[in-house]
């Protein structure tokens, strides 16, 4: 059994220092405020600043693995992600998931047309996977691509797309016809300026606009925009998701544990610190245990992926575990504040400028988006345990 991740050696201290200096000099002054989750700028001005920021990073010679032809020095990559991550603002503009897909399955033309521009902030991408009735359950995708000469004609609807309102290109999964293979799903590069695309930014319950609905009405996509081969969409999507796997929410849940511990320490009731209250200690420790288990579950899943032994429950399990732990912690984060929890971002009395209040509201994005946890539990029981599928009403 082997799980070791080694520490960054001291000889990288200099790299870190020069990077910090670079960040100090170039980190953009955004209107956009760092909040939990994937949060998208509301102002064009901020988007422009972020593009400049990505360009500056690129021009300074910092290259991310996802955009590089050959993997970079792993410690440099870690320092890079750590330091840029610590700024709290995006350092890749848009959703760069497609980069892995293009690197692995794309044509030389696709690589040169997209990888460089993405790394320089010239292209913003959005991911077009989730659908209203399917979530991330690819088998249920209903967006169709009908082959017409050397073009697919796309019809359907996607939801939960971040960055779509600012995107130049979309990483689209559609069920192509005639169906060329099992599943019959194809991955496509979509020009977001194509006629027939309607983007509806959603104002969410958080009050911010982070997701979009995207509608396709006879949108034409050249066959040359297929990533990999027609019908290989599932493989392409799985592979690119695998390159990003485990990342979502991993540190997020531990960060919340730390926030709760801080909050408890600095809050008093009946003259006693909540950090000395047995019920608070027990509850926060229970969260801490679950957060640590989340890390370890992630490593089990990674191991299975490396051994080509992915199970039907790996992804749903991670999603349920993180999203429900996250939600419970944030509910508790409000409870611990007591009446102070009723004020939010912008109020001088708010704890941590209302971060926990916003995160509490946003927490439902994780339990609902990308396939609700109810759909996830169906997947686990039906595909994982082989229990009978729910009868469809239209059968």
Partner 1 sequence: MNFDFDDDQQLLRESVRRFLDERYPLSVTREALEADVVLDRELWRRGAELGWTAMLIPEQHEGGSITSQPLVDLVVLAEELGRTLNPGPLVSTNVVADAIARFGLDEQRSTWLPRIARGEVIATWSLSAEGTPDLEAPGVDAVVSEGGVTLNGTARYVHEAVGAELVLATVRLDGKAACVLVPLPHDGVRVRRHTGLDLTRRFGEITFTGATVPADSVLGGAEVLERAISVATVIKSAEATGAAEILFERTVDYLRDRVQFGRTIGSYQAIKHRLADLLIEVEAMRTATYYAALAVDEGFEDAAEAVATAGSYVPEAFAHLTGESLQLHGGIGFTWEHDVHLFVRRSKSDEPLFGEPSWHRENLFEMLDAATLGESA
Binding residues (CB under 8 A) for its own copies: these are 277-283, 391
For the CB of residue 189, give the shortest distance to partner 1 in the complex, in Å.
26
Q: Does 308 contact partner 1 by CB under 8 A?
A: no
- In angstroms, the Cα distances linking 228 to 35, 146, 175, 180, 219 are 36, 18, 15, 13, 20
Q: Does 391 contact partner 1 by CB under 8 A?
A: yes
Q: Does 61 contact partner 1 by CB under 8 A?
A: no
Q: Does 360 contact partner 1 by CB under 8 A?
A: yes
Q: Which two tokens stand for residue 32?
A: 């956009």
Q: Which of 207, 217, 222, 247 binds partner 1 (CB under 8 A)?
A: 207
For the CB of residue 391, give the shortest distance to its own copies in the complex, in Å.
6
Tell me the sheet residues that pair with 128: 172
296 contact, one of its own copies, partner 1, none, CB 5-8 Å limit per kind: partner 1
Residues 112-141 that bind partner 1 (CB under 8 A): 132-133, 140
293 contact, one of its own copies, partner 1, none, CB 5-8 Å limit per kind: partner 1
Q: Which two tokens stand for residue 221?
A: 């996509």
Give yes or no for a contact between 120 and 54, defined as CB atoms under 8 angstroms apart: yes
Give yes or no for a contact between 80 and 109, defined as CB atoms under 8 angstroms apart: no
For the CB of residue 205, give the shortest distance to partner 1 in the complex, in Å.
3
Q: Which two tokens stand for residue 29?
A: 């002054």
> What CA–CA distance (Å, rounded) separates 120 from 146?
34
> What CA–CA distance (Å, rounded) separates 106 from 189?
10
Residues 11-40 that bind partner 1 (CB under 8 A): none
Number of residues in contact with partner 1, rule: CB under 8 A?
Answer: 95
132 contact, one of its own copies, partner 1, none, CB 5-8 Å limit per kind: partner 1
306 contact, one of its own copies, partner 1, none, CB 5-8 Å limit per kind: partner 1
Q: Which is nearer to partner 1, 99 or 350 (CB)?
A: 350
Give yes or no for a contact between 52 and 120, defined as CB atoms under 8 angstroms apart: no
Radius of gyration of the chain (CA): 22
> Containing H/E element for 219?
strand 211-222
139 contact, one of partner 1, its own copies, none, CB 5-8 Å limit per kind: none
Burial of 152 (0-12, 13-18, 19+ CB in 10 A): buried
Binding segment for partner 1 among 17-25, 46-54, 146-154, 384-392 (CB under 8 A)?
384-392
> What CA–CA distance (Å, rounded) separates 75 from 2?
19
Q: Does 201 contact partner 1 by CB under 8 A?
A: no
Q: 160-189 mask for partner 1 (x: CB under 8 A)?
A: x-----------------------------
Q: Which is nearer to partner 1, 49 or 329 (CB)?
A: 329
Q: What is the largest CA-CA distance in the chain?
A: 76
Give yes or no for a contact between 57 and 81, defined as CB atoms under 8 angstroms apart: no
Q: Does 335 contact partner 1 by CB under 8 A?
A: yes
Q: Does 293 contact partner 1 by CB under 8 A?
A: yes
> What CA–CA distance (Å, rounded) separates 4 from 129?
34
For the CB of residue 33, give the shortest distance to partner 1 in the complex, in Å.
14
For the CB of residue 373, give the shortest distance to partner 1 in the complex, in Å.
8
Q: Is the dihedral of CA 324, 240, 185, 194 positive or negative?
A: positive
Q: 252-281 mask for partner 1 (x: CB under 8 A)?
A: -----xx--xx--x--xxxx---x---x-x
């Amino acid at each position: 059994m082997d799980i070791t991740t080694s520490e960054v050696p001291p000889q990288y201290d200099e790299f870190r220092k020069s990077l910090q200096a670079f960040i100090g000099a170039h980190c953009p002054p955004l209107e956009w405020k760092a909040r939990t989750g994937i949060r998208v700028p509301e102002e064009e001005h901020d988007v422009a600043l972020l593009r400049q920021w990505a360009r500056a990073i690129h021009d300074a010679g910092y290259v991310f693995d996802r955009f590089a032809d050959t993997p970079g020095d792993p410690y440099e990559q870690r320092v890079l992600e750590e330091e840029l991550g610590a700024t709290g603002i995006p350092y890749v503009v848009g959703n760069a998931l497609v980069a892995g897909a293009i690197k692995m399955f794309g044509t030389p033309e696709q690589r040169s047309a997209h990888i460089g521009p993405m790394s320089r902030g010239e292209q913003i991408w959005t991911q077009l996977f989730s659908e209203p009735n399917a979530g991330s359950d690819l088998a249920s995708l209903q967006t169709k691509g009908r082959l017409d000469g050397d073009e697919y004609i796309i019809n359907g609807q996607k939801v939960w797309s971040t960055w779509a309102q600012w995107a130049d290109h979309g990483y689209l999964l559609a069920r192509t016809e005639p169906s060329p293979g099992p599943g019959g799903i194809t991955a496509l590069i979509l020009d977001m300026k194509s006629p027939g695309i309607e983007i509806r930014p959603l104002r969410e319950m958080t009050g911010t606009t982070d997701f979009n609905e995207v509608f396709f009405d006879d949108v034409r996509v050249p066959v040359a925009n297929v990533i990999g081969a027609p019908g290989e969409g599932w493989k392409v999507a799985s592979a690119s998701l695998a390159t990003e796997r485990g990342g979502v929410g991993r540190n997020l849940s531990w960060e919340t544990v730390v926030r709760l511990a801080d909050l408890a320490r600095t809050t008093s009731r009946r003259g006693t610190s909540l950090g000395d209250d047995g019920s608070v200690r027990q509850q926060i420790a229970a969260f801490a245990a679950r957060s640590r288990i989340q890390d370890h579950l992630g490593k089990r899943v990674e191991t299975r992926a490396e051994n080509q032994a992915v199970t039907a429950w790996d992804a749903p399990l991670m999603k349920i575990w993180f999203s429900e732990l996250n939600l419970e912690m944030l509910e508790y984060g409000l409870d611990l504040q007591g009446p102070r929890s009723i004020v939010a971002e912008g109020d001088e009395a708010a704890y941590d400028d209302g971060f926990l209040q916003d995160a509490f509201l946003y927490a439902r994005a994780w339990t609902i988006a990308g396939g609700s946890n109810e759909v996830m539990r169906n997947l686990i029981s039906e595909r994982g345990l082989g229990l009978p599928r729910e009868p469809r009403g239209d059968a």
